[in-house]
Chain A
């Protein structure tokens, strides 16, 4: 039958045409990831050097770049160069912290959104940040956060507080039916409760008010290399682990039961990753205080750019998150110089309109 033969031939041709198109798209996607990662890292590096020029002691971009090169090659600043000393002791750790915290919060947000299947959650909304705050404030007022031990006690208190608050949130939300909205509601209730408890603790310890306020508004001032190293490792390792699980996170988007159809041990995976993101978020807030909205907005921005595949989403969230928070920190250093703006508050003020826009635009689709 010649007619059916031509038909089959045509179908064959159409199929190979479509396949070629797909091949092209696949290459395109990988190119996109490459551009985001390389371009993002370059932008990050330039902004990093730029951030070193900002402050009370002004430096030019060339001076900062030379300073960084000298510091890297000599494994430390020279004793005679004031600029290098300032860069090394004050500005470098600070900017590293800003990048790590931005990246960590964004990745924590992306993972949480996938696990809870709710695009409107982040470490701030699910009570992780408040839990960490509570832990740090409690331990500060208890007097365990001074001297040599502070470097260890503060992050430990933050992690314990974060995991405890997050566990309570998850437990309550699951008990209430595990709907997308349950997590938001439970998180709001837990964080409101914890914030109020913090307020009460401050009320009875007015002398520590200033120190705690600085922490609660979020700030990258006075961070030493020690803290920077702990934040760097504390965010990098969980982020790397989360990245290794990105394929499974894609499957989790189908919901728990349908992920089980595909052979995923949902309960173990969910618990493990929940602890992981709680630890990640805790390291982010442990030294710098509460910075909201980064974990919420950055993953969304990246989804708009590259789609929902976590293999692309997690690395690009990290790069974009780090970049955004570094820029925000530069803004906080310079906008009201010589005094500094609290970065947590600034990010929140800028983040609220974005969040509201997102809710109006996307809220319906996610059937809240």
Chain B
């Protein structure tokens, strides 16, 4: 599962016509001022989409609107063709999972108990997990290489292990759409790459992944599409080669960069003065 996506030829170009996420003219504001001003997204099945933008550009807010934690002022969000206005949180939780950057610690939940929580949207019996739930949880924990410390408490894990536990919990939710908020924020470079590979292989298995990230060079290496967000507006949406340019980086982040192309993939090199 943890194959090197780049070694296999980079971004997949397989035809996947099914649109999983469609956001149209999304407007939202915490105060009178709008945080998001008319966002449109179209993400197909199995696409790995990165949300890139400065702090406060509306990345997390957009995710919160998509999973209905927040109610948009205008516009529509459709997941697998269903308008979220007509869906309950419970129904959304079976279509879309959100993987936070971190999770509250404390209280002695074991890693396995934590991952098992991801099955709660599917709970049929109100008490114990079904054999099917157990099967799914153990498979996911195995895939992410955390089954051997299933009994360890969450607060005893390292950041890298915890990131994998968070992803495993997201996967057992069996979503069509997976939103990941800065999964690599606190990780060293090895784990960053590992997490990217994991997300990439999830996308290859048909889950649409929407990831907010500040690691632009990892984004260009692994993602199919980049959505560049600035001040609540979409600046550009397309393949990394189209979106990540000297001009766009200057416009969005107000920094001077040099773009280096390595087998077609653009990498940024900030010019330090």
Contact = CB atoms under 8 A, between A and B. Distances in A.
Nearest to B166: A258
B72 interface: no
A86 B44 CA distance: 77
Interface residues of B, number: 39
Contact of A253 (B92, B109, B127): B109
B88 to A, nearest CB: 7
B117 A254 contact: yes
A67 B84 CA distance: 65
Nearest to B151: A25
A308 B98 contact: no
A76 interface: no
A263 B121 contact: yes
Contacts of B134: 22, 26
B137 to A, nearest CB: 9
Interface in A234-273: 244, 247-248, 250-251, 253-255, 257-258, 260-265
Interface string A98-132: 00000000000000011001010000000000000
A359 B110 CA distance: 22
Contacts of A308: 107-110, 113
Given A260-B69, A262-B117, A263-B90, A22 B104 contact: no
Contact of B110 (A114, A248, A260, A307): A307
Contacts of A350: none
Interface in A1-56: 15, 18-19, 22, 25-26
A366 interface: yes
Interface in B105-122: 105-110, 112-113, 117-118, 120-121
Nearest to B90: A263
Contacts of B127: 247, 311
A309 B150 CA distance: 14
B126 interface: yes
A303 interface: yes
Contact of A263 (B105, B120, B151): B120
Given A250-B117, A257-B69, A260-B89, A365 B97 contact: no
Contacts of B147: 15, 18, 22
Contacts of A113: 107
A365 B121 contact: no
A180 to B, nearest CB: 9
Interface in B66-106: 67, 69, 88-94, 97-98, 100, 103-106
Nearest to A15: B142
B100 A258 contact: yes
Interface in B143-188: 147-148, 150-151, 155, 173
Interface string A269-312: 00000000000000000000000000000000001100111010
5 contacts: A25-B151, A114-B107, A247-B123, A261-B100, A311-B127
Given A263-B91, A265-B88, 20 more contacts: A18-B138, A19-B138, A22-B147, A22-B150, A25-B151, A244-B126, A247-B126, A247-B127, A248-B120, A254-B104, A260-B89, A262-B173, A263-B120, A264-B89, A265-B89, A304-B108, A308-B107, A308-B108, A308-B113, A366-B105
Report, nearest first, the 10 A-B pairs whose CB atoms are least far apart. A263-B93, A263-B90, A308-B108, A366-B106, A261-B98, A263-B121, A308-B107, A308-B109, A255-B104, A18-B147
Interface of B: 67, 69, 88-94, 97-98, 100, 103-110, 112-113, 117-118, 120-121, 123, 126-128, 134, 138, 142, 147-148, 150-151, 155, 173
